[in-house]
Amino acid sequence: MTQYGVLSYWEAKRAGFDIPLASMEAVTGWLLRTQDPGGAFGYQGRVADGMTLVTQAGIRPSMAAAGLGSVHICADLLGLSDGRGPQIEGLPIALREIKGPEDRVKTRIPKKLLRDAEARGYHWFEQNYVIQPPQWAYYYLYALERYQSFRELAQRRPEKEPAWYNDGVRLLLQLQSQDGSWKERCGVVPDTAFAMLFLLRSMKQSIEKAHGLGDGILVGGRGLPKETEKIAVREGNVVAHSALAPKQSLLAALEGQSGTDRAQALEQLAELPDAEVETLLGPHVERLRQLVGDPSPEARLTAVEALVAVGDLDSVPALIYALTDPDARVMLKARDALRRLSRKPDGFGLPSKPDEADRREAVRKWKAWFRAIRPDARFMD
């Protein structure tokens, strides 16, 4: 139950409530003294005398995730989780996030104690990671998503599709009932809620909203160009010069025959976050679909990447066509794009090095899937 109390503190502070420092320190100290020496947490904490940790009982993956997630939340509440991720190489000092004196909490908890507890927990998960524990599977997934989301925040290494999340999605697809629910020991309503909160990355969304990370700038380098001199400030926002390029000239360069212009346009598009690509190219998506059949493999590859960012189901026929591309990069990017758009993590097979029979079978199955939701679909030849 401690994890819910700690989470309520975090949400309350985000909403502007004054959380007593002594209470935050008390729960942090309790968590630090009830961690198993191996890094996990038990069901009911045996409190160590000082910081010489004692063996805990009732250790399970769900308890480990709940305890370690709570440690991360306490570190965030006490202002001890900021600024310890890897610096972005070449990032100007003016673009590095800082905290003013009013943002820092004067706590008696040594930062090193929290770092050591986190390190022990990371080691335990490296040795004992599972995606489907013997019991309380959905409760565990809910705690796992919270722990992993706060770990990403602490390490400043956000991942778009982390392996543990993809593992969970595949598991939930296998275990979902025909009526859309999930059920184990907690009951159909709680277990379905836990599963949905995991799928939605609910904690990650809350963290991004609370920390103002929604636009992805200055977080692990998201949103910044490869070369930091290629930046400008527009209306208070840091943007890449490539984002300032006129739409028509960028599209014209993609469609043109000039190798230099096209290479520059491809480089510009590659630097843009998905949201900016969608804004930039959404109105011109039909022209992107035509580029899937372009003679240039680089243009075909960029067209597929842009279609993924736009996220339009009407682009499925173009992506299916790209499965037949002679360039393996284009084929694999189209395969992954179809999996993403269809919410089918495993898709319809198609290995990384397919033969022609594999390709034909994948194309047939993807067309059948799309016809089931778009009976009037027309496909590219």
- State the average pLDDT over residues 55-79: 91
Q: pLDDT, tens digit, for every residue of 103-152?
A: 456 788 888 998 999 999 999 999 998 998 888 899 999 999 999 998 88
What is the model's pLDDT at position 49? 87
The two three-digit tokens of residue 53, written as one number: 């940790």
Distance CA 282, CA 379 (A): 20
Is residue 156 very low, low, confident or very high in pLDDT (cuts 50, 70, 90)? Answer: confident
State the chain's mean pLDDT as an integer.
Answer: 78
Give the pTM. 0.54
Long-range contacts of 92-98 (CB under 8 A, 24+ apart): 92/228, 95/218, 95/224, 95/228, 95/231, 95/238, 96/218, 97/218
Give Cβ neighbours of residue 200 (< 8 Å, ≥ 6 apart): none
Give Cβ neighbours of residue 46 (< 8 Å, ≥ 6 apart): 34, 54, 55, 56, 57
Of residues 287 and 69, the one with the higher pLDDT is 69
Q: pLDDT, tens digit, for every residue of 207-257?
A: 877 765 444 444 444 444 444 444 444 434 444 444 444 445 556 655 554
List, in order of start, the domains of the chain with CATH numbers: 2-211 (no CATH), 245-373 (1.25.10.10)
What is the model's pLDDT at position 232? 47
Quote the percentage of the chain above a pLDDT of 70: 74
Q: What's the chain's Rg over C-alpha atoms?
A: 24
Q: pLDDT, tens digit, for every residue of 15-45?
A: 888 888 999 999 999 999 999 999 999 988 8
